Chain A
């Protein structure tokens, strides 16, 4: 028979294979589920995974979803490596959208060249400010970061809803909870003639590469990795734990803030109450699936963006509720955590005399 044996060294192969294995298992789970629901599983998987890549328009829409997922996930990857359990990317994204919109609305009738950069800057700064609150509470008062960041997600959401019903509402908008449309000078440039791929998507990939360089080549990245792997060793080496915490959190806040402002100043073009379908939460899964590495996050964010896009299509084409995407994300993380078991353990045939 077989038995489980601890590996002497964590398996590098399994570290890389585990996310792919988890994706395959999730797809198998999905097929079974669709069959049980009376939907053709082959057609469902085709709509979920292939259709999003089938034409230029769908690919561009997929990339538009990939941008915010990637930005949030890169920031979270750094946080988790430094043992900062930041669950607040959603709130930081909303804060970025809110702060960016407040700036953008100063340029509604303007074609100033400063409109777009200032809007982005305001969004990034707002995301950082929103991330600074739990970081300060953590470093100063030792507050539980998971719970404070979650609470700030809810607070950011209500703040945003309040703003679109109040100060930022379009005075000429017949009372709808929406801001005025941003001016053309404020909107992020669109890259291709067809589709909505905007500058934010490019920035997301560039920033992921910057984070990759930072993490693997810089002294600061080295400190983050040591701190995450062995906190006592890092402290012994004299690394400033608070400085590392502040850096990863503000970096994550800036990226999530950029993700938020790039949504309102990009594909949406105004502030509305529903600017994020939970990108900040999905980014947690992207970060794990990407092995907490910025390069891995690019691949993982693309996969989740395909899933998001496929979910939209599945709702239209097959009447499958969009909530299936959220469920698949949870299942994916379950399978990933289960597969990661084999990084530390292996299954070996048990010897006869042991049985």
Chain B
């Protein structure tokens, strides 16, 4: 493998990992408060289509980002209402959100299939982008790649070093105790669910505004699900999520690498790689029962009903 190929592979791995990073960061915060939202794929698809349509209509990719985050939040509110207010099963509601989002995005996106837009241009960071190899791999990306990293640092700081982070942790570990000391459990969970929705929308917008850039039905191809696996893989730690997202990004483009190296395997078989990698990761995490029990937010997936407190 020559250095040019390695440079391109690492560059593409970061790009491919970026939407996963957005979604996983949002879902990690959501899960830290004890809410498991399996609707990531649906919110992501809605973010992708609405982001694309907003950018197409206004000619401004920035508007696309805003639209995508708003629709992600709106979608997450449906989930939040059912799960938090009505105490519906989180797994079933998340699945419903994904099925709904998949259908609705195909429905409203039918009119813009085949259109193209100008997405974000690469932002070469002065001086740093001129470093050989590293400059190309790290410092000549589109602005959203940097945004993802900045957000990761911010979220990591808030989750680990601030009062907000402690509140989130308290609600996720023991909602009854949190309620007893005056924390509004449902409010915290609502905010976390909406944050997750906005981030999933952003991840979707990355797909349709930067990665491809266009809208195709079902274009996220299971990335929302892979991001869910990524959160568990990272043991709900923000630093691990960043690392894991780029690793998954690398796994997702391995088929291009293998083809580039002259392997003559069917592209359809190679396209299975990210999904196989996800299963392998699930096996590795699950095998260590002690670890998962210790690290998962203790109230994850369990409803909290203030009505039963009275």
Which of B57-65, B149-157, B192-200, B224-232 forms contacts with chain A?
B224-232
A50 at the interface (CB under 8 A from B): no
The CA of A132 and the CA of B99, in the complex, are separated in Å by 25
Q: Which A residues have a C-beta under 8 Å from some C-beta of B?
A: 4, 6, 85, 87, 137-138, 141-144, 146-148, 150-152, 154-155, 158-159, 161-162, 165-166, 281, 284-285, 288, 321, 323-331, 333-334, 337-338, 340-341, 344
Shortest Cβ distance from B229 into A: residue: A147
Neighbouring A residues of B261 by C-beta, 8 Å: none
List 13 A–B pairs whose Cβ atoms lie within 8 Å, in order of A's numbering: A6-B308, A142-B292, A151-B222, A154-B221, A154-B222, A162-B266, A162-B268, A327-B100, A329-B99, A330-B96, A333-B95, A333-B100, A338-B88
The 6 closest A-B pairs by CB, nearest first: A330-B100, A326-B103, A327-B103, A323-B106, A333-B96, A162-B268
Neighbouring A residues of B82 by C-beta, 8 Å: 334, 337-338
CB distance from A81 to the nearest CB of B (A): 13
Tell which of B89, B92, B222 has the most Cβ of chain A within 10 Å. Answer: B92
The one of A144, A161, A323 that contacts B103, using a Cβ cutoff of 8 Å: A323
Q: Which B residues have a C-beta under 8 Å from some C-beta of A?
A: 38, 42, 78, 82, 86-89, 91-93, 95-104, 106-107, 110, 217, 221-222, 225, 228-229, 232, 266, 268-269, 271-272, 275-276, 278-279, 282-283, 285-287, 289, 292, 307-308
Q: Check A85–B91 contact: CB distance below 8 A.
A: yes
The CA of A341 and the CA of B86, in the complex, are separated in Å by 6
Given contacts A6-B307, A137-B279, A341-B87, A147 and B107 within 8 Å (CB-CB): no
Neighbouring A residues of B217 by C-beta, 8 Å: 323
The one of B92, B100, B228, B308 that contacts A147, using a Cβ cutoff of 8 Å: B228
Q: Check B106–A326 contact: CB distance below 8 A.
A: yes
The CA of A87 and the CA of B229, in the complex, are separated in Å by 15
CB distance from B308 to the nearest CB of A (A): 7
Neighbouring A residues of B89 by C-beta, 8 Å: 337
The one of B95, B110, B232, B289 that contacts A144, using a Cβ cutoff of 8 Å: B232
Q: Check B266–A324 contact: CB distance below 8 A.
A: no
Neighbouring A residues of B282 by C-beta, 8 Å: 137, 143-144, 147-148, 151
Q: Check A325–B221 contact: CB distance below 8 A.
A: no
The CA of A6 and the CA of B306, in the complex, are separated in Å by 12
Shortest Cβ distance from A284 into B: residue: B95
Neighbouring B residues of A85 by C-beta, 8 Å: 91
CB distance from B144 to the nearest CB of A (A): 25
The CA of A158 and the CA of B307, in the complex, are separated in Å by 48
The CA of A280 and the CA of B283, in the complex, are separated in Å by 24
Given A162-B266, A327-B104, output 15 extra A-B contacts at Cβ < 8 Å: A143-B279, A143-B283, A147-B229, A154-B221, A155-B275, A158-B272, A158-B275, A159-B272, A165-B268, A284-B95, A326-B102, A326-B104, A330-B42, A334-B96, A337-B82
